[in-house]
Amino acid sequence: MAKIKTSYFCQNCGAQSAKWIGKCPACGEWNTYVEEVVQREEVTPTTAWKVGSSTAQVANKPKPIADIRYQEQQRIITQDQELNRVLGGGIVPGSMVLIGGEPGIGKSTLMLQIALSLRGLKVLYVSGEESEQQIKMRAERLMAQTSDCFILTETGTQNIFKQIELVRPQVLIIDSIQTLHSSFIEAGAGSVSQVRECTAELLKFAKESGTPVFLIGHITKEGNLAGPKILEHMVDTVLQFEGDRHMTYRILRTTKNRFGSTSELGIYEMMGSGLREVSNPSEILISQREDAFSGISIGATLEGNRPLLIEVQSLVSPATYGTPQRTSTGFDAKRLNMLLAVLEKRGGYRLGTQDVFLNIAGGLKVEDPALDLAVCASILSSFEDMSIPNTSCFAAEVGLGGEVRAVNRVENRITEAEKLGFTDIYISKYNKKGVDLSKFSINIHAYGRLEEVFSSLFG
């Protein structure tokens, strides 16, 4: 019997060590090394997906780049336009996509819905967490039936590849990668070595067969994808499925994409019959108010190529205790402190003794600096207890000198505001260069200083 090797792996980043150490030299975390049984000496798992194939490998030889033939492959366009957007225009053949999210957020529902909607394509849905009856119940609820979707409840990679040889699917979905185990590794399912080995086998299958593979992954309590960090490096695309389980809206965000932009997002609404695509998210991110309230403003932001109008809510009240509170949800807390300092220094508003609470409606997390002017207007509106007209919106960055700075792609923001029925938009006067503003029917207010904006708003 061949000798079994053991090694120590960091459960946080996947770094390997021959002996146990307290602090990981790669990621700096303490007490994360665990001992695991690694691959036997005589096993060659790189060809594990090729059932019945020879283990002999043909060595690749270097080629001049001019001699490499490239043929652009046709992407698989799904019926889910939100998924097409975040993937960069559809599913790339031979790609590997990793989808992570909190438990109960709807990852399995999303992937089963996609599997049932790919009519004309043979899809194999492999589940290691649910039975066939549970998946059938969900499919009945989604009210989408097709004979092209095959369900397999299995966790062993060798058995999965045997069924792949029989079914020959055109799309493979794994739910989830942490439940799979390879017989070549004698560690438990979900361990660092098992996740890395199973992903490597599926990656080799995807690249050599040209079959797109979707992996559903668990996340840690910190919100990061569980397993070694190398898992995110191995796959082509990493998608994050976000949202509050107690709210109906879900956001599919791209954090890595070798075939498209990483700044795109898709928005869904969770319903009893599955996930519904939200084609115009600006309408759901802006509350329909009959009365005007202070502390509320509308900002025009961009997520990838998509313009969004979102609601900024602020509450400013005198501090009860000695140290005023600064709390923000969906907006960078450090940037909020910077804007408060600008308002106090350049505008003369005494906010140092006030509690400030800021919220981005809809559960979005925004990093676009074009939201600065909307945040400042919202804070001042609450501070002075004067409402901003419901038909006004903002799109400009605020500098440390109190200047209103230009933002990119202002025409897209103005067009979105005009489409949603806004009558006034406040931008930087420096955005007027090279932009034809006469083609818009919306009133465009262009200013260079914060005090000019506030004078126009509040008099």
The encoded tokens of residue 403 equal 């200047």
CA 351 – CA 344 distance, rounded (Å): 6
Tell me which of 280 and 109 has the higher pLDDT: 109
416 is in an annotated binding site: no
Nearest to 414 by CA among 440, 392, 434: 440
Please tell me the predicted confidence (pLDDT) of residue 42: 47
Give the CA angle between residues 390, 393, 397 to the nearest 5°: 150
Please tell me the predicted confidence (pLDDT) of residue 68: 84
Q: What is the mean pLDDT of residues 413-428?
A: 91
Tell me which of 192 and 252 has the higher pLDDT: 252
19 is in an annotated binding site: no
Please tell me the predicted confidence (pLDDT) of residue 242: 85
H or E element that contains 311: strand 306-318
Tell me which of 306 and 376 has the higher pLDDT: 376
Q: By mean pLDDT, which of 12-16, 231-235, 383-387, 414-418 is the weakest? A: 12-16
When pLDDT is cut at 50, 70 and 90, the band that residue 246 belongs to is low
Q: For CA atoms 424, 429, 430, 432, give the dihedral sign.
A: positive
- Residue 172 makes CB contacts below 8 A (sequence gap 6+) with 123, 124, 126, 164, 202, 205, 206, 211, 212, 213, 214
107 is in an annotated binding site: yes
Please tell me the predicted confidence (pLDDT) of residue 57: 52
Round the average pLDDT of the chain to a whole number and report it.
86
Q: Are 85 and 225 in contact (CB under 8 A)?
A: no
Q: What is the mean pLDDT of residues 410-431?
A: 91
pLDDT > 50? residue 43: no
Please tell me the predicted confidence (pLDDT) of residue 48: 52
Tell me which of 398 and 322 has the higher pLDDT: 398
304 is in an annotated binding site: no
Q: What is the mean pLDDT of residues 333-358?
A: 93
348-359 tens-digit pLDDT: 898 988 999 999
CA 413 – CA 369 distance, rounded (Å): 13
Q: What is the mean pLDDT of residues 105-120?
A: 91
Q: What is the 3-state secondary structure (H, E, C) of 244-292?
A: CCCCCEEEEEEEEECCCCCCCEEEEEEECCEEEECCCHHHHHCCCCCCC
101 is in an annotated binding site: yes
Give the CA angle between residues 262, 265, 405 to the nearest 5°: 75
pLDDT > 90? residue 59: no
When pLDDT is cut at 50, 70 and 90, the band that residue 307 belongs to is confident
Assign 438 to helix, strand or coil.
helix
pLDDT > 70? residue 281: yes
- Residue 185 makes CB contacts below 8 A (sequence gap 6+) with 37, 38, 39, 45, 193, 194, 197
Mean pLDDT: which of 285-289, 313-317, 318-322 is highest? 313-317
Q: What is the mean pLDDT of residues 338-355?
A: 92
When pLDDT is cut at 50, 70 and 90, the band that residue 14 belongs to is confident
Assign 143 to helix, strand or coil.
coil
Please tell me the predicted confidence (pLDDT) of residue 50: 60
Please tell me the predicted confidence (pLDDT) of residue 56: 45
Q: How far from each other are the two terminal CA atoms of the chain, in whole angstroms?
A: 87
When pLDDT is cut at 50, 70 and 90, the band that residue 54 belongs to is very low
424-448 tens-digit pLDDT: 999 999 998 877 878 889 999 999 9
When pLDDT is cut at 50, 70 and 90, the band that residue 45 belongs to is very low
Q: By mean pLDDT, which of 34-43, 158-167, 255-264, 392-401 is the weakest? A: 34-43
Tell me which of 10 and 454 has the higher pLDDT: 454
List residues bridging with 354 in a β-sheet.
318
C-alpha pair distances (Å), 270 with each of 59, 109, 276, 345: 49, 10, 6, 45
C-alpha pair distances (Å), 198 with each of 224, 233, 271, 413: 19, 14, 34, 45
pLDDT > 60? residue 18: yes
379 is in an annotated binding site: no
102 is in an annotated binding site: yes
| In the chain, % of residues over pLDDT 70 | 93
pLDDT > 80? residue 141: yes
CA 16 – CA 187 distance, rounded (Å): 14
Q: What is the pTM of this model?
A: 0.74
Q: Are 149 and 125 in contact (CB under 8 A)?
A: yes
Q: What is the mean pLDDT of residues 306-315?
A: 91
| In the chain, % of residues over pLDDT 90 | 48
Please tell me the predicted confidence (pLDDT) of residue 4: 64
64-76 tens-digit pLDDT: 988 888 777 789 9
> What phi, psi does 180 have (nearest 5°)?
-80, 150
251-277 tens-digit pLDDT: 898 889 999 888 788 889 888 888 998
The side-by-side arrangement of strands in the sheet containing 237-242 is 149-153, 123-127, 171-175, 213-217, 96-101, 237-242, 249-257, 265-271, 274-277
103 is in an annotated binding site: yes
